[in-house]
Amino acid sequence: PFFVNRGGLPVDEPTWERMWRHVGRIHPEGERVAQRIRGAADLPKIPIPSVPAFQPSTPIPERLEAVQRYIRELQYNHTGTQFFEVKKSRPLTGLMDLAKEMTKEALPIKCLEAVILGIYLTNNMTTLDRFPISFKTHFSGNYFRHIVLGVNFGGRYGALGISRREELMYKAPVFRTLSELIFDFEEAYRRCWHTLKKVKLGHCVSHDPHSVEQIEWKHSILDLDKLTREDFRKELERHARDMRLKIGKGTGPSSPTKDRKKDVSSPQRSQASPHRRNSRGDRRPSGEKKPADSKAMPDLNGYQIRV
Amino acid sequence: MEPSGAGRKEKPKAREPAARLEKAKQKSAQTELKQRQRAEIYALNRVMTELEQQQFDSFCKQMQGSGE
């Protein structure tokens, strides 16, 4: 199950109790975990991390490292309950308010929250482009979803984010092409026995924290089952070109492709490039699993490598 | 002649500090609750992170043992 705290902070009683019940069900020690922690008088005091601040002369790569260290310091949320509700369709300004709350409350987060936070903490880096990268992978009969914040600085690609797996989050901005970055993630997935199935690439996010634009999460949807390796690479580079065009002209057109569908989105997106897909869209929210009909790996105590 | 609103003005003024005090108490209680919850969340997260790491390490060993 995938629990989200929708009532703000402090966590309300039903959500709080649900969190502990869930822990009791999944931890081998069951309810003893809750008994040890709830009401304990000697819990360690966890300092609230300071939001990174930079001198104007601090190079962007160094700032990205500091932002990533901050995100990491909040910790990946393994509790089973997500503490901040992220509605992906909210205007950017609303998501930035949420990010500010995250820095104030300083609680463990998951990948989507880290993307919102990454945008917030890099808004003042106007020479840095940010765009969401979503992954859908397959492992042992189930599908898994993950998201990071792609970055492009001076033509070099990297990523910010948080994951259970070290190799599926921060990437220094050293990759010469978007393809190289994505292939690096693909290889990292392979090392933890996940097969990459789909990549969804968003467009560049505005640096204006008060913008009422929505984040475009899936400008390009790439289904690896339907693409040759070379076509996959070409589509990634096409997306990279689209991003460069849009930045250069303000609202530039996309590169031509035979598979383009018309933009049928809401009026707010009238200036955005149309969706490009080479397979049907998949609109399940982040974090959910869908069972797949494929050969399962040997049952190793039912453990699923989540990312 | 007394001002018409003189009697009425007394009561709201007396209520204001009491209402402010109550509000401050509520805010303080909320802050304390948040701090307490935060401490418990991080303590729980530590336990669950260790569990996840143990399970992952164990799984990796099994995979490597079975020759993948």
The tens digit of pLDDT for each residue in A88-108 reads 999 999 999 999 999 999 999
Residues A63 and A32 in one domain: no
- Residue A272's pLDDT band (cuts 50, 70, 90): very low
Residue A115 has pLDDT above 60, yes or no: yes
A-B contacts (CB, under 8 Å): 75
Residue A286 has pLDDT above 90, yes or no: no
What residue type is assigned to position A16 of the chain?
Answer: W
Structural domain of residue A230, as residue ranges? 59-245
Cβ neighbours for A66, distance < 8 A, ≥ 6 positions apart: A52, A54
Residues A103 and A147 in one domain: yes
Angle CA A262–A266–A267, to nearest 5: 100
Q: B41 and chain A: CB distance < 8 Å anywhere? A: yes
Give me the count of residues in chain B: 68
* Phi, psi of A301, deg, nearest 5: 60, 25
- How far apart, in Å, are the Cα atoms of A283 and each of A134, A145, A218, B50? 12, 11, 10, 32
Separation of alpha carbons B46 and A40, rounded Å? 15
- Does the annotation mark A111 as catalytic? yes
Identify the pLDDT of residue A30. 94
- Residue B41 within any structural domain of the chain: yes
Which class for B51: exposed (0-12), middle (13-18), buried (19 or more C-beta within 10 A)? middle
Identify the pLDDT of residue A283. 38
- Residue A303 within any structural domain of the chain: no
Tally of structural domains, chain B: 1
Residues A29 and A130 in one domain: no
Identify the pLDDT of residue A233. 98
- Residue B14's pLDDT band (cuts 50, 70, 90): low
Contact list in B for residue A108 (CB cut-off 8 A) is 41-42, 45
Residue B56 has pLDDT above 80, yes or no: yes
Residue B65 has pLDDT above 60, yes or no: yes
Identify the pLDDT of residue A81. 98
Q: In chain A, whose CA is at the least distance from the CA of B55? A: A303
- Residue B21 within any structural domain of the chain: no
Structural domain of residue B52, as residue ranges? 27-67
Identify the pLDDT of residue A69. 98
Identify the pLDDT of residue A111. 98
- Residue B49 within any structural domain of the chain: yes
- Residue A297 within any structural domain of the chain: no
Q: Which two tokens stand for residue A80?
A: 């089973």
* Phi, psi of A144, deg, nearest 5: -135, 150
- Interface of A to B at Cβ within 8 Å reads 9-11, 16, 19, 23, 27-28, 33, 37-38, 40, 43-46, 75-80, 83, 105-108, 164, 193, 298, 300-301, 303, 305
Tally of structural domains, chain A: 2
Q: What is the CA radius of gyration of chain A?
A: 20
- Residue B57 within any structural domain of the chain: yes
| CA A37 to chain CA centroid, nearest Å | 30
Separation of alpha carbons A213 and A204, rounded Å? 12
Separation of alpha carbons B43 and A49, rounded Å? 16
- Residue A81 within any structural domain of the chain: yes
Average pLDDT estimate for A141-163: 97
Contact B48 A27 (CB under 8 A): yes
